Amino acid sequence: MGGVWSSGGNLSIARQYLTGTGTQAAALSIGGSSGTASTVTEEYDGASWSSGGSLNDARLHLAGAGTQTAGLVFGGSIPYFSYNEGCEEYDGTSWATGGDLSTGRRGLAGTGTQTAGLSAGGYTGSKSAVTEEYDGSAWASGGNLSTSRYYLAGAGTQTAGLCMGGIITSASAVTEEYNGASWSSGGDLSTARYYLAGAGEQAAALCFGGTTGSASAVTEEYDGSAWSSGGDLSTARYGLAGAGVQTAGLCFGGWITSGSNITEEYNFGSPPGVWSSGGNLSTARCYFQGAGTQVAGLCAGGNTTAVSKVTEEYNGASWSSGDDLSTARRDVATTGTLTAGLTMGGYTTTRVATTEEYDGASWSSGGDITA
C-alpha cells in the first residue's frame, strides 16, 4: 500500500491556516489567512479552483466538514488569537449562519457532514478536550478526548471519528477513535506533528504535512489500528487543509516560507495524467488507428513494409491475434468496440472506400463509404 502525490490546480488565493472538505473532484477550501483573516471560499472540480460564496465572518484556524454543496465550518479565530464559536453552512452557492458551538475555540479538528458534524479539541486559552456533535441546527456535548490538545487533524464521521497529532506540550503522535459516544486510543502516528491535515475514514484515513519545528512532507495512512508510511508531499508545509479519501486525497494551501497556493492530489498507483508501459503489439506497424477501451482494445491494418491486414485485440495487458481484415490497407479509420468494431477507407495502392465490421471474432463486409 502507498499512494503518490501529484500536482493539482493551484488555489486562486494563497492562504495558510485554512480548512477544507469534500472530495478530490469536488472540494471546498475555506477561510484561512493571507495576511489577515479571510472570507474566501474556493471550489475544486478535480482540475482547477473557482470562486465560491464568501464566509460571513473572516476566520483562520477553523475546522470544516461536509461536501462541496453541503459544507460546514465552525470555530477558529476572528481575528488572530481569539476563540470563536460561530458556525456557518454552505449550500453550494452561499454561506448561512448555523448553530454556535457551545465552546468557542481555535485550532480544533472537524469531520462528518453538515447534518452530523463532529468537533474535537482546540485551544480556548489552554488546550481543550471538548467534543461537540452537530445535528444540522445545534451542537450538543459529546465524549471528551482522552488527551487535550490543539492544532490537531480529523477524519471520519460523527459516529466513527478519528483525530490525530496536535500539541499537548509539544508535537503529539496521539491518535484517538470516536464511536459516537466516547474516544479510545488508536495507533500512534509514526511522526509526531501539529498543524497537519487529515482526510478519509476511521478505518482508512490519511494525514499529511504539519510541523515538528520545520515544515513536514510526511504522509501516513491508517488502517483502523496502525499508521504506515505513504508517499511524501511534493512540497513540505504546515497549516494546510485536506479533503477526500485515503485512495483519492487532496491537500491545498499552507505555510512554506509564506502562504501557499499549492494543491496536490493523492492516488494509489500511477498519478493521474501519467503514461505507463503496456504490452507491445505482436506486429510492429504504422499508419493505423485503434478503437475500444484500455482493457478491450482493437487495432487493424497499417503498414509494415507493405500494407497490412493484421488485426490484434488487447485485454489490458497484452495483444493477441484477431481475424485479419479482408482487405489489407493503411491509413484506415477505426472506431467502435472490441465486439462491434468498424474500419473504413484507407489506402492500398490507391484510396479505397471499403468498410468492414468486426463482431469480436471475424470481419465482414459493410457498406462502402461514398467518398
Using alpha carbons only, give the angle 147, 150, 153 rounded to the nearest 5 degrees.
90
Contact 50, 25 (CB under 8 A): no
Q: Is 81 helix (H, G, I), strand (E, B) or coil?
A: coil
Distance CA 241, CA 14 (A): 12
Q: Is 74 helix (H, G, I), strand (E, B) or coil?
A: strand
Q: What confidence score (pLDDT) does residue 292 get?
A: 87
Strand-pairing partners, residue 292, are: 297
Here the cell at position 318 is 497484452
Strands (E), 227-354: 227-229, 241-245, 248-252, 263-268, 289-293, 296-300, 311-314, 319-321, 333-337, 340-344
Question: What is the rounded average pLDDT for all residues in the chain?
Answer: 94
What are the distances in angstroms from CA 11 to CA 219, 259, 301? 21, 11, 47
Distance CA 2, CA 266 (A): 10
Q: What confidence score (pLDDT) does residue 296 get?
A: 83
Condensed to tens digits (0 to 9), the pLDDT of residues 136-181 reads 999 999 999 999 999 999 999 999 999 999 999 999 999 999 999 9
For 360: left if phi > 0, alpha if psi spans -120 to 50, otherwise beta; the answer is left
Which segment of 248-257, 269-278, 294-303, 311-320 scores lowest on mean pLDDT? 269-278
Q: What confidence score (pLDDT) does residue 272 get?
A: 52
Condensed to tens digits (0 to 9), the pLDDT of residues 59-118 reads 999 999 999 999 999 999 987 889 999 999 999 999 999 999 999 999 999 999 999 999
Condensed to tens digits (0 to 9), the pLDDT of residues 3-51 reads 999 999 999 999 999 999 999 999 999 999 999 999 999 999 999 999 9
Q: What confidence score (pLDDT) does residue 144 get?
A: 98
Helix, strand counts (H, E) of the chain: 0, 32
Using alpha carbons only, give the angle 305, 355, 306 rounded to the nearest 5 degrees.
5
Best CA proximity match to 71, nearest among 262, 241, 195, 202: 241
Q: What confidence score (pLDDT) does residue 190 get?
A: 98
For 348: left if phi > 0, alpha if psi spans -120 to 50, otherwise beta; the answer is alpha
Condensed to tens digits (0 to 9), the pLDDT of residues 324-365 reads 999 999 999 999 988 999 999 898 999 999 999 999 999 999
DSSP secondary-structure letter at 171?
B
pLDDT score of 267 more than 60:
yes
Q: What confidence score (pLDDT) does residue 369 get?
A: 87
CA 353 from chain centre, in angstroms, equals 48
Condensed to tens digits (0 to 9), the pLDDT of residues 187-204 reads 999 999 999 999 999 999
At 371, the pLDDT band (50, 70, 90 cuts) reads low
Cβ burial of 107 (10 Å; 0-12, 13-18, 19+) is buried
Q: What confidence score (pLDDT) does residue 270 get?
A: 53
Instruction: State which H helix or E strand residue 208 sits in.
Output: strand 204-208
**What percentage of residues in the chain have a pLDDT greater than 70?**
97
pLDDT score of 316 more than 80:
no
Residue 312 carries which side chain, given as an amino acid letter? E
Here the cell at position 362 is 471475424
Instruction: State which H helix or E strand residue 63 sits in.
Output: strand 63-66
Cβ burial of 51 (10 Å; 0-12, 13-18, 19+) is exposed
Sheet holding 109-112, edge to edge: 109-112, 117-120, 131-134, 139-141
pTM score of the predicted model? 0.74
Best CA proximity match to 262, nearest among 244, 240, 246: 240
Which segment of 42-51, 198-207, 222-231, 309-318 scores lowest on mean pLDDT? 309-318
Contact 94, 53 (CB under 8 A): yes
For 220: left if phi > 0, alpha if psi spans -120 to 50, otherwise beta; the answer is beta
